[in-house]
Amino acid sequence: MPKRFELLVFDWDGTLADSARIIIDAIEQGSLEAGVAPPEADRIRSVIGLGLQEALLHLFPDLDEGRRQHIGLGYRRHYLRNEHQVNLFEGVAPAMREWAEAGFLLAVATGKGRRGLDRALEASGLGTLFITSRCADECFSKPHPQMLEEIVTELGVSRERALMIGDSTFDLMMAQNAGIAAVGVSYGAQCEAQLWPHAPIACFDSFAKLRAWLNENA
């Protein structure tokens, strides 16, 4: 059967990598170091997927820029100290190799910065499988469509043949803004009730279910 999609674009944190807890802890620690009460964990979880500066602006809209920068520096320090604890979700590595061998183009669109994504790709051993990627310090942050627009343009893939996979409303809104279909996953940062209003064509509570669906339908 001909493939429905040619290009699969994945978010990283919360979609391929089980990093939500480390991100939450790092923002909490950065807040405390700056003398600011940390937001509740669910509130932090709700901004995972944004670029760091955009996330901090959402979390701390009343703070001055200097204090937010202080929190950001603390966040980076604590995240770097603990990023070795971040693992791929079970089944991600073999699935990526399987899809690459099947002829899918694989890409990443992430709220991480370029250096952070490059470290994650190297640590995962999957870097050579992804044809291209876009990061929050290279483009407008999600949900702006720039990341996806640049990826499909670079690879010469029509929007109808591209699929975005992500765990946050920002991923799904980015796909909507770019005119690209999307699938949501609820095992990362946000739950299905938050994802469905943004019109994913499917939503899954485990990577195993996502993998099975893509093998059958992509």
Higher pLDDT, 82 or 18: 18
- Residue 165 included in any domain: yes
- Examine the fold and report which residue of 43, 68, 84 is the final residue of a domain before the chain moves on: 84
CB 184 within 8 A of CB 196: yes
Classified as helix, coil or strand, 209 is helix
H helices present in the chain, as ranges: 20-33, 41-45, 52-59, 65-82, 92-101, 114-124, 146-155, 169-178, 192-195, 207-217
pTM above 0.95, yes or no: no
pLDDT tens-digit map of 34-55: 999 999 999 999 898 888 889 9
- Residue 2 included in any domain: no
**Residue 11 belongs to domain with CATH number:** 3.40.50.1000
Verify that 205 and 123 share a domain, yes or no.
yes
pLDDT tens-digit map of 14-35: 999 999 899 999 999 999 999 9
DSSP 189: S
